[in-house]
Structure 1
Amino acid sequence: MSTAEVNGVTIDYDDTGEGRPIVLVHGHPFDRSMWRPQVEALAGSGWRVITADLRGYGKTTVVPGKTPLSTFAQDVAALADHLEIDDFVLGGLSMGGQIVMECYRQFPHRIRGLILADTFPRTDTPEGQAARRAAADRFEAEGNAWYAKDNLAKMLAAYNVEAMPAVADHVTTMMTGAPPAGAAAALRGRAERPDYRDLLTTITVPTLIAVGRDDEFTPVPDAEEMHALIPASTLAIIEGAGHLPNLEQPVPFNEALRELLAGLS
């Protein structure tokens, strides 16, 4: 575990392995430990895997209020600068995938390949924006327990909650451990994100789009839409998984990830 002072916050991160750099961005309301199976699979095989807690999450500084995706993207760039990394493969899941899209908007010249997992490029509807803001207020008023209770069987495929108790415990721990003010700030910022569909048509680097077959939050049609928009993309539908296929089914997820990376060698 290491820390970096960037953009007025202290970012906690792990820098594991040696070789070409890959940066993985976690989703909401998780932390960098969600990428543990991918770190274990890639580090030591010619890849330097960087995972960080986003501002407001894990052990990174909490900044209350509203954190737009553009700020998260600036933090990703600043951490890469701190590590003296010029270009890298970049991946993210769910909110992390939307941060990755924003990163490509801000600094496409630094990105050699993309992983977009269980995410979607559209803006929220007015109803969706209102729901995110209401959830943000509830995070601050009540903490996180309600969110974990309501969403565990959507984060994982419902059948995996009992079938994979260790994974369910890990996901619950991340959700209940997220700083409420940081999670709320991210929700408010995410409610105002732009539509990234036009941006996706400009992506020229090899891109993996991955999605759990039974993802309720970002279902397969969302992934298929991104696959149609990104010319140099591959679509991997992970069977037996919901919104977190990298944790529910790490073996096929990692196989798809290795295929992408092999093409970049």
Structure 2
Amino acid sequence: MPIVTVDGVPVHYAAQGSGPRSIVFMHGGFGSSSELWKRTIAALPAGWRGYAIDNFLRSAPPPDGYSVQSLARRVRGFADALGLERPVIGGHSMGGVVTQLAASNDPERYAGAVLVCTGAVMTNHQLGHDLMAKLRETGYEHMREISSHWFRIVPADFFEGYVSRAMDAPLQAMLDVQQSLLDTDCRPLLPRIKAPTLVVFGAHDAGRTIEHAQTLLAGIPDSRLARMEDSGHSPMIETPADFDAALHAFLATV
């Protein structure tokens, strides 16, 4: 995988495609990685190049430590380092919060935003609080059980790889970034997001419910909903054809 230096530290990423337009994806927490987006960036429309940043595996920590805020600054530094002109940015779950922060920090920097199974605040996300407590108490002992919450329909080989990679991530990094996620409330920042925004909701998502999606839609001025009727928390893996159809239609408008 290629490496770029951001804030003086190496950041690994996956990339595929070619053309003048670019989209940068952020993975979620609990040990997720760029592999979550591998299929999506391979399927992008002609004229688009996709990037997927690694934050926990293969990359160094941000200089000021792991938090959703430091990862949002990494998005800007990544785009600047690669000379990406007004890319679309997107994120899944925790990465969706990173995307909200990045898009509100620099409203003119990005051409669009894609928020996948995420929300602005964790106040009514009991599953996230419960799994954070389990991770803090038992480490990776229950990572397979924790990871099972992110998928409703998933190929067995992908799930095994996901769990294995998750257990390779630094535990303290997981705890630090998850705690910052629990402490962050993006609701006051949503009106500052000026980029057109696609909010993707999985109808069977046990954690990020429709109320989370509705909060994003109410707060972001130029936003629209794509509802994945057969998906849980990870539609890019569970229902890839539906996810691609919604994403590609959105990219055609930005």
Q: Is the 8 A contact 2:117 2:205 kept in 1?
A: yes
Q: How does 1:39-54 map to 2 (within 5 A)?
A: 39-42=41-44, 45-54=46-55
CA deviation vs aligned residue, 1:35-68 (integer Å, no higher than 9, x gap): 01211111x61101111101xx111124699522
Q: How does 1:99-178 map to 2 (within 5 A)?
A: 99-124=98-123, 134-135=133-134, 137-138=136-137, 142-149=138-145, 151-157=146-152, 160=153, 164-178=155-169
Question: What are the ranges of 5 or more consecutive residues in structure 1 without an aligned counterpart?
Answer: none
Q: 3-state SS of the aligned residue for 2:108?
A: helix
Matched, 1:181 2:181: no
The aligned counterpart of 1:59 is 58
CA shift, 1:197, in A, is 1.8
The aligned counterpart of 1:21 is 22
Q: What TM-score does the superposition give when structure 1 sets the normalisation length?
A: 0.85
CA shift, 1:235, in A, is 0.7
CA shift, 1:15, in A, is 2.7
Matched, 1:70 2:69: yes
The aligned counterpart of 1:3 is 3
Determine the C-alpha separation between the residues in 2 that align with 1:129 and 1:175.
16
Determine the C-alpha separation between the residues in 2 that align with 1:258 and 1:46.
12
The aligned counterpart of 2:241 is 251
Give the 3 Å change call, closer, same or farther, for CA 253–243 of structure 1 in structure 2: same
CA deviation vs aligned residue, 1:6-60 (integer Å, no higher than 9, x gap): 2242111123222211100100120011001211111x61101111101xx1111
Tell me the C-alpha RMSD between the 2 structures. Answer: 2.6
Percent pairwise identity: 28
Q: Is the 8 A contact 2:103 2:195 kept in 1?
A: no
CA shift, 1:205, in A, is 2.2
Determine the C-alpha separation between the residues in 1 that align with 2:120 and 2:174.
20
Instruction: Give the letter for the 1:165 counterpart.
Output: A
Give the 3 Å change call, closer, same or farther, for CA 181–242 of structure 1 in structure 2: same
Determine the C-alpha separation between the residues in 2 that align with 1:18 and 1:33.
19
Q: What TM-score does the superposition give when structure 2 sets the normalisation length?
A: 0.89
Instruction: Give the letter for the 2:6 counterpart.
Output: V
Give the 3 Å change call, closer, same or farther, for CA 124–68 of structure 1 in structure 2: farther
Question: What are the ranges of 5 or more consecutive residues in structure 2 without an aligned counterpart?
Answer: none
CA deviation vs aligned residue, 1:175-200 (integer Å, no higher than 9, x gap): 3232222212212322322x222322
